[in-house]
Amino acid sequence: MIARSLALAGLMLAAAGPALAQESPNIEAPQANPANAAPAPAQQAPAAQKVAPAPARPATAAAPQARRPAAPGERTAVIAVLDKRMGNTADFTLKPGERFTFGRLSGILQSCERTQPHERKQSGAFVQVTEQPPSLGNQPAGKPVLVFSGWLFAESPSLNPFVHPVYDVWLKSCTMRFPDGPPAPSATSRGNSRPMPGASPKGSASGANGGG
């Protein structure tokens, strides 16, 4: 009888076990107080790296300056004019801005250019030429007519020739002054040049005797 009661009590406890487990409160683990927490170790800043300075660039020699041409007032052009019917010719030495007159022609020199002395010789002049029309009977002469405006070239006149049935105009020369360039090295400066390392000076005993 007692054994039967004990078995019945065991079965009741076994059935009530899952329900007791669900009704039991959840026990949370105690949280640490931030005030009492140990401070984290401070991180050390990375050491600054030393950057080697860039090597200095060697000084370069200054480029030679180009020669500046002369001012317009220092330029001179020689313009030649020919009358084909009469065979008369005339030369006019002009500076920029000056005029010439020949027969019914009248011209003005606007500019004069030439290459530098170290270049192949080429010279040109910008000329404007007008022609006075002839009077017909009792009628007055008309206004001058522009018959040419362009460059005349002394060395290559066929590049832009003056074309007219009666007159011919061409450039003979153009003269202009260029500033002097840098002075040439003197003999004294060349004689004071230092010999290269390892080279024996001229006229030494070893050189004269052949090293013997």
What pLDDT is stored for residue 141 in this prediction?
A: 74
What pLDDT is stored for residue 25 in this prediction?
A: 47
Residue among 89, 83, 68 nearest 172 (CA): 89
Tell me the whole-structure pTM to 2 decimals. Answer: 0.52
The burial of 37, by beta-carbon neighbours within 10 Å (0-12 exposed, 13-18 middle, 19 or more buried), is given as: exposed
Residue 23, amino acid: E
Domain ranges within the chain, ordered by starting residue: 72-176
What pLDDT is stored for residue 140 in this prediction?
A: 76
Largest distance between two CA atoms of the chain: 173
Lowest mean pLDDT among 29-43, 89-103, 113-127, 161-175: 29-43
Residue 148, amino acid: F
Q: pLDDT tens digit string along 130-189?
A: 999 988 777 777 899 999 999 999 999 999 999 999 999 999 999 988 775 545 455 444
Tell me the pLDDT band of 113, cut-offs 50, 70 and 90: very high
